[in-house]
Structure 1
Amino acid sequence: MRLRFLVPAMLAASLLAGCNPTYNWREHTSQEGRYKILFPAKPATFTRAVDLDGLRVEMTMTAAEVDGATFAVGAATAPDAARARAALPAMRLALLRNIGAGAEAAPAPVARDGLRVQATGAANGKPMRLHGRFEARGERFYQVIVLGPANATPPEQVDQFLSSFAPL
């Protein structure tokens, strides 16, 4: 008699456990940064001053972490569109330096005012993989990245994040 109730209860518990996905995608809209994107977990936002090859700006970063990988969007405003475009390679280079990646990661163009990058490096002695998209729209510029342990983030999750980015 007891087994008759235990089996359905265990089955229900296992089904409910399957409803807690590692990647819990949700749409995030930044009114300040003027973009929308899908994050794989609840993101947090902070702002800090950065120097991009002599261009000092306040960059707002919104990021979420899943299994040691960081999914992040950085947004900032330059004095003009030309300086916003010039900030893209500077952001790319700064990220490559952070993981000790070399020039092997040649940028691939994205539309008219953007770059993409994929690179492998190391942080704290551990192999890391960077996937990034850098884009300028007028005076605004963005970095959209996934950075984490090498081979830890499935390519379809990286693609979903990077391709979901849309400036408003």
Structure 2
Amino acid sequence: MKIRLPLPVISVLLASALLGACSPKYNWRDYASQDAPYRVMFPAKPASVTRTVDLDGMQVSMTMTAAEVDGATFAVGSAEAPDEEHARAAVPAMVRALTRNIGAVGERAAAHAESGGRSVSDIDVAGSSNGQPVRLVGHFEARGKRFYQVIVLGNTNAMPSEQVEQFLTSFTLR
């Protein structure tokens, strides 16, 4: 016995099968940190690592949570300083360290703002890593004794503006 399906039904079944086989490049997911009071949307499943970093002589244990899509890394780093003053000082120290790491040129930074125990900087810079041109877009913030870096780093072509903006603007402190 042969079953004949009408052409529109076959078309719908074929389209459904093709769409089901596709995997979106950006698979956005909500992430709530277990180590620090923040939430963010990552474009893929993130992984975390904690290590000691030196920020202008201040040794801190920083947890970095990151996901990679097509050669662009989307990451949030968080740490706690001994006090609010050290946390605020960590913001420009992180900016200097990251821009120095890529030999940044043409640095564009939003006005660094400080008020009420809060310090914020935003950057968009170009540089190189392993001889390849890269772009670094970041938001750096200190509140109380905690400080954060929210960055996207990669080849400019691997960093669509709307994806970078979605990641950066999704970062919220709880």
TM over 0.5: yes
Distance in 2, matches of 1:33 and 1:109, equals 26
CA contact (8 A) 1:77 1:139 kept: yes
- Name the SS of the counterpart of 1:105 in structure 2: strand
Taking the TM superposition and a 5 Å limit, the aligned residue runs for 1:18-57 are: 18=22, 20-57=23-60
1:107 to 106, 109, 119: 109
The aligned counterpart of 1:158 is 164
Letter in 2 for 1:98: N
Count of residues paired in the alignment? 166
- For residues 82-128 of structure 1, give each alpha carbon's deviation from its aligned partner in whole angstroms, at most 9, with x where no partner exists: 110101111011111111113x3142137641000000111111110
Letter in 2 for 1:16: G
- Structure 1: any 5+ residue segments left out of the alignment? none
1:80 to 75, 79, 83: 83
Letter in 2 for 1:154: P
Distance in 2, matches of 1:7 and 1:165, equals 41
Seq. identity, %? 56
Matched, 1:17 2:29: no
Question: How much is the aligned-residue C-alpha RMSD, in angstroms?
Answer: 1.9
The aligned counterpart of 1:68 is 71
1:121 to 109, 123, 127: 127
- With normalisation by structure 2, the TM-score equals 0.87
Largest Rg, 1 or 2: 2
Query: Offset of 1:12 from its aligned partner?
Result: 2.7
Distance in 1, matches of 2:100 and 2:10, equals 56
Q: Which moved more, 1:69-78 or 1:147-156?
A: 147-156
- For residues 123-155 of structure 1, give each alpha carbon's deviation from its aligned partner in whole angstroms, at most 9, with x where no partner exists: 111110100000001000000000011222110
